[in-house]
Amino acid sequence: MFLSDKAKRLTPYVAGIQPQEEGWVKLNTNENPYPPSPKVTEALHTADITNLRLYPDGESSSLKAAIASVFAVGEENVFCANSSDEVLALAFQAFFSGKSRIITPDISYGFYPVWGEMYDVGMIFAPLRDDFSINISDYNPSNGVVIANPNAPTSLALGLADIEKIAMQNSSSVVLVDEAYIDFAQVESAVSLIGKCKNVLVVRTFSKSHSLAGLRVGYAIGSPKLIEGLRRMRDAFNSYPLDMLAQIGATAAISDTDYLKETTTRIIATRGKTTAALEAMGYKVLPSHANFIFFHAANAGALYQFLLDNKILARYWSKPRISEFIRVSIGTDEDMEVFVKCVRQFSSGEQKNP
């Protein structure tokens, strides 16, 4: 009886389980198996805690400058907030709220339909092809486009030329490109388009490739008009979105490009080994551009449960089109050996009792 009509009607997002006890091989939320850069540890250890009595810099100026420098864009092209989920929610409010024909793939990040509902957006869910690829001619005409590139949970990516075509097809509406996984991809980032395509807003996170899911930092890169739109929404919601320690930690992380390269290279190598092991058992694995793989298993629900019973957390959705697939995050080589061994056990049991 206390709830507003909106709160009653909403279907909240369901995130992967975060078990609070030890002993799990946790491969369900695409966290990075490696610790954050040692530069982050150092920066947080030497931070002046007495400054916490003050409000933080609402503009995250130092972080913004560090991001601008890494991507060779202007500071007026950067916006920072408390997670990329927050950046995306602000973008939905700033650019899509109350509009119709905002197009997104039918299989993508589960938060998009939630924000669509939350902010009264008329969403169109364009079906992916049977092989889960995006048909770019579906993205026209629209009042806005939301695409995760690489896409989740499919792990597939569009090349830069296709993103540019979508942007050109929709030059008078905002094209949100959620690049949560781009550092693991073999395709180029859309950041290079923001000068030419004023309607492209690239959204990124420190949660996956920078090993900072616990710090909650996200950012957007786009033309100054789009950044201004995000600012307006921020200042109508929470004018200090990033706490002081988050700003310090993220600034250290983005500047350590060598560490990013080293850890992503390692994860990509482990992804290759895991894919080969699954393929050797006869599973079909989608060609991944992310720090997770999405593979077909006829009995996916049972495999998910078998993994769970063996203290391995993966992700499974009993939803149309993807109910015969499992998504598994790429952990360390050791994590993935445990995972592969468990899948092998499951498949040999299946063969004995079909």
Residue 36 interacting with ligand PLP (CB under 6 A)? no
Give the one residue of 31, 138, 164, 178 binding ligand PLP; rule: CB under 6 A.
178
CA nearest neighbour of 178 among 105, 73, 75, 229? 105
Q: Which two tokens stand for residue 62?
A: 């130092």
Task: Say how far residue 42 (Cα) sits from the centre of its chain.
Answer: 27
Task: Choose which of 121, 126, 148, 328 interacts with ligand PLP (CB under 6 A).
Answer: 148
User: Contact between 85 and ligand PLP (CB under 6 A)?
Assistant: yes
Residue 183 binds to ligand PLP (criterion: CB under 6 A): no
Question: Residue 164 or residue 178: which is nearer to ligand PLP going by CB?
Answer: 178
Q: How far is the CB of 172 from ligand PLP (least distance, A)?
A: 25
In the region spanning residues 227 to 246, those forming contacts with ligand PLP, defined by CB under 6 A, are none
Instruction: Name the residue among 339, 234, 235, 224 with its Cα closest to residue 277.
Output: 339
* Residue 152 lies near ligand PLP (rule: CB under 6 A): yes
Strand-strand pairing, 174-178 and 144-148: parallel
Q: Does 213 bind ligand PLP (CB under 6 A)?
A: yes
Cβ proximity to ligand PLP: between 148 and 220 the closer is 148
- 218 makes contact with ligand PLP (CB under 6 A): yes
Question: Measured between alpha carbons, how far is 96 from 42 in angstroms, rounded to an integer?
Answer: 40
Q: How far is the CB of 83 from ligand PLP (least distance, A)?
A: 3
In the bound state with ligand PLP, the residue whose beta carbon lies nearer, of 85 and 183, is 85
User: Rounded CA gap, 260 and 288, in Å?
Assistant: 19
Instruction: Report whether 155 contacts 288 (CB < 8 A).
Output: yes
Does 164 engage in binding with ligand PLP (CB under 6 A)? Answer: no
- Of 266, 335, 282, nearest to 307 by C-alpha is 335
Distance, CA of 100 to chain centre: 24
The dihedral formed by the CA atoms of 295, 272, 265 and 180, expressed in degrees to the nearest 10: -10
* Residue from 60, 84, 263, 347 binding ligand PLP (CB under 6 A): 84
Residues of this chain that bind ligand PLP (CB under 6 A): 30, 83-85, 109, 148, 152, 178, 180, 205, 207, 213, 218
